[in-house]
């Protein structure tokens, strides 16, 4: 069995880690958004854009225009997730996320899984 095959068999989700969709944000649970292999590309781009934005904002270029450039990348990645119906509303876009296996999601309890 190849790594790609194993990866496609895992059930993955985006787990809210900060922002509006975490417990203590706008609700009583952490939001989790499931996605399938057909969305790996846009999820990968979102996670990279989110990380790049955080690094540029806090570590590399404080006080410069660089975060604005990486913010455009992050907005585009969020838009792609909305178009794919993984992000359902604006509060999903105001949340930071991590990739998580659904089987391990209980580590982030309480959570609510939204399947597409």
Residue 51 lies in a domain: yes
Residue at 5 is within a domain:
no
Residues in a beta bridge with 32: 15, 113
Is residue 72 in a domain?
Answer: yes
Position 6 in a domain: no
Please state the domain count of the chain.
Answer: 1
pLDDT, residue 41, reads: 97
| pLDDT averaged per 10 residues in sequence order, the chain, 116 residues | 50 92 87 93 96 84 66 93 95 93 73 70
DSSP letters spanning 42-96: HHHHHHHHHHHHHHIIIII-TTSSHHHHHHHHHHHHHHHHHHTTSS-SHHHHTEE
> 10 Å Cβ neighbour count for 110?
10
Residue range of the domain that includes 80: 13-19+30-114
- The pLDDT of residue 29: 84
pLDDT at residue 20, as a whole number: 93
pLDDT of residue 34: 92
């Amino acid at each position: 069995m190849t790594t790609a095959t194993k990866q496609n068999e895992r059930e993955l989700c985006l787990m809210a880690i900060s922002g509006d969709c975490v417990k203590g944000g706008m609700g009583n649970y952490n939001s989790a958004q499931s996605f399938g292999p057909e969305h790996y590309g846009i999820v990968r781009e979102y996670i990279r854009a989110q990380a790049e934005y955080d690094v540029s904002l806090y570590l590399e270029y404080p006080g410069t225009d660089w975060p604005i450039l990486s913010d455009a990348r992050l907005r585009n990645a969020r838009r792609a997730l909305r178009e794919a119906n993984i992000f359902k509303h604006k509060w999903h876009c105001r949340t930071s996320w991590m990739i998580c296996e659904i089987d391990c999601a209980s580590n982030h309890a309480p959570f609510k899984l939204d399947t597409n």
